[in-house]
Amino acid sequence: MDPTVRGFVATPVPLADGAQLTSELDLVDHLIVAIAGDDRLEIDVRGGPSPASVAAGIGRLASLHGPDLAIDPDRATDDGAQPYVPFHAEALLRSAVAAVAAMRSLNETLGGEVTGPHLWPHGFDIATEWYSERLVDYDGTPTNAQIGMGWYPSDVSYLYVKPWPFHDEFADHDLPGRAGWHRSGWEGARLDIVEPVDVSTACSLGVAVHDIAAPRLSP
């Protein structure tokens, strides 16, 4: 999904009759909006709709344009109401907009092959990636060495910058400000957000890790 100034929008899905299904999580008006051709579905998330009811509604909308849309049943079985707090959603959106601005600034600074920012729905973190031309074996598949920068909205939200593959020598370098090296579970730089972080500070962390890791990750 791609972040916007209002929330998040999913990649369009082609439907059987040639129309496209688009869906958006609007954190300003607190709606899920799905559009297929000239047909539109709005779900007010302040009512706490269940994942199953949302999936069913979007499935019915898509079925107006051909065979039923294939929906992963494992993601659409929960029929319980989901609490939704508009104040929290609006705070999430403000933080997401700032994180996206930092990642776009970083991408413009680095150049080369970059992608993002985008939302990873399984963790709801927003990330962008820089890719090296160097290929590394990953379970038998040649894969570009890379550096990912992201914002994770956990209980204590944090910025991360993860070079892959990680080399122990990276952690011998100092990082700017309060950032430090994280080595448990995943490896990279981490900056806990205990106070607002401005765009330049976040971008500086991404540049610092790139300067440390890119020479080793490049061809």
**Domain shared by 78 and 109, yes or no:** no
Boundary residue ending a domain (84, 116, 133): 84
Boundary residue ending a domain (53, 84, 115): 84
pLDDT for the residue 104: 92
| Domain enclosing residue 91, as ranges | 87-217
**Domain shared by 98 and 197, yes or no:** yes
Name the DSSP class of 131.
E
Boundary residue ending a domain (43, 69, 84): 84
pLDDT in tens, 130-153: 999 999 999 999 999 999 999 998
**Domain shared by 21 and 98, yes or no:** no
- List of residues 6+ apart from 51 with CB closer than 8 A: 75, 76, 77, 78, 79, 82
pLDDT for the residue 124: 82
**Domain shared by 57 and 92, yes or no:** no
Q: Could you tell me the pTM of the whole model?
A: 0.83
Q: Would residue 18 be called left, alpha or beta, if left means φ above 0 and alpha means ψ between -120 and 50 degrees?
A: left
pLDDT in tens, 182-215: 999 999 999 998 877 788 889 999 999 999 999 9
- Give the ranges where the chain is alpha helix by DSSP (H): 51-63, 86-110, 199-217
**Domain shared by 105 and 172, yes or no:** yes
Task: Give CA–CA dist 27/93, Å, rounded.
Answer: 7
**Domain shared by 115 and 208, yes or no:** yes
